[in-house]
Structure 1
Amino acid sequence: MVCVPVLVRDLQRLLGFEQLDARVKELTSSQAELLERIQKLKQEVQNWRSNVETQVRTCQNELQGLKKGLDSEVEQLKLEMKEIRSAIQKEKGNLPTQITTLEMSNNDTEQALQTQDQALKVDTDASMEEQTATQA
């Protein structure tokens, strides 16, 4: 009769091993699923990173193009400002000459007006003398 308890005990051990074996298989399967999910996530992260790097390069290229364009425009504006400054300096240099010319022209105009006024006065005086002579 000692055999029966030993058999029961051996059977229990076998059942325990079967349960352990089933649990190990379950864990192994779960581990494989987890590894597969990790590989997929890793691939997604790599794809995402690659896309982000591409977008960053594209943006950097666009920014470099814009920077070059702005630099060119700034240089053009600097040249234009230099030309304007030169023109202003030239005009400042010509200003005394222009003022003198205007003053001379103004004097000539005033003299011409005075001459016209005198001529009108002479004509008016002559007309008045004629009227007075005709009336007398």
Structure 2
Amino acid sequence: MAAESTAPPPPSLPPPATAAALRHPRLSGFEQLDARVKELTSSQAELLERIQKLKQEVQNWRSNVETQVRTCQNELQGLKKGLDSEVEQLKLEMKEIRSAIQKEKGNLPTQITTLEMSNNDTEQALQTQDKALKVDTDASMEEQTATQA
């Protein structure tokens, strides 16, 4: 019976040190994957944060540009209204000038006729005055001749 007791015990679970050594490479791989996932997740969060900041900057920029565009449009509309009113004023002035010119053109023949008549009257008056002077001069000469004789 002594021979039976010296026999090795039947194989059972491996010793604890050996089991931990077998499981450790697997855990090490999972830990590496877990670390990599955490790193990617934090990178993703940083990228999302940067994207949100960029979106906000673009929205602010766009808002500023739209405000500037509205301001410029308002200024241009004001200038356009001013120019339109000036153009209308100039058109009215041109119409007045044209009508005044047309009126003067219409009056021109009358004025020419009046001037001609006035010239004729002046010439007749001058001729009458010349005749009267001649008569006066002739009468005066006759008096002088009569006085001398």
Shift of 1:122: 7.2
For 1:80-128, what per-residue CA distance to the aligned partner results, in whole angstroms no more than 9, with x for missing partners?
1111121112111111110001111222333344456667777888999
- 2: distance between equivalents of 1:7 and 1:135? 182
Contiguous gaps of at least 5 residues in structure 2: 1-15
Q: C-alpha root-mean-square deviation of aligned residues, in Å?
A: 3.4
The corresponding residue for 1:82 is 95
- 2: distance between equivalents of 1:131 and 1:11? 172
Instruction: Judging by fraction of residues, say which structure has more helix.
Output: 1
Closer/same/farther in 2, CA of residues 19 and 134 from structure 1, 3 Å limit: farther
Closer/same/farther in 2, CA of residues 11 and 106 from structure 1, 3 Å limit: farther
Shift of 1:48: 0.6
Closer/same/farther in 2, CA of residues 119 and 32 from structure 1, 3 Å limit: same
Contiguous gaps of at least 5 residues in structure 1: none
Closer/same/farther in 2, CA of residues 99 and 47 from structure 1, 3 Å limit: same
Query: Are residues 1:48 and 2:61 paired?
Result: yes
Question: Which stretch has the larger CA shift, 109-118 or 119-128?
Answer: 119-128
Question: Which stretch has the larger CA shift, 63-72 or 40-49?
Answer: 63-72
TM-score (norm 2): 0.69
Equivalent residue pairs, number: 132
Shift of 1:22: 1.2
Closer/same/farther in 2, CA of residues 33 and 113 from structure 1, 3 Å limit: same
For 1:13-71, what per-residue CA distance to the aligned partner results, in whole angstroms no more than 9, with x for missing partners?
21111111111111111001000000000000000111111111111111111111111
**Which one has a bigger Cα radius of gyration?**
2
TM-score (norm 1): 0.75
- 2: distance between equivalents of 1:128 and 1:9? 169
Closer/same/farther in 2, CA of residues 126 and 80 from structure 1, 3 Å limit: same
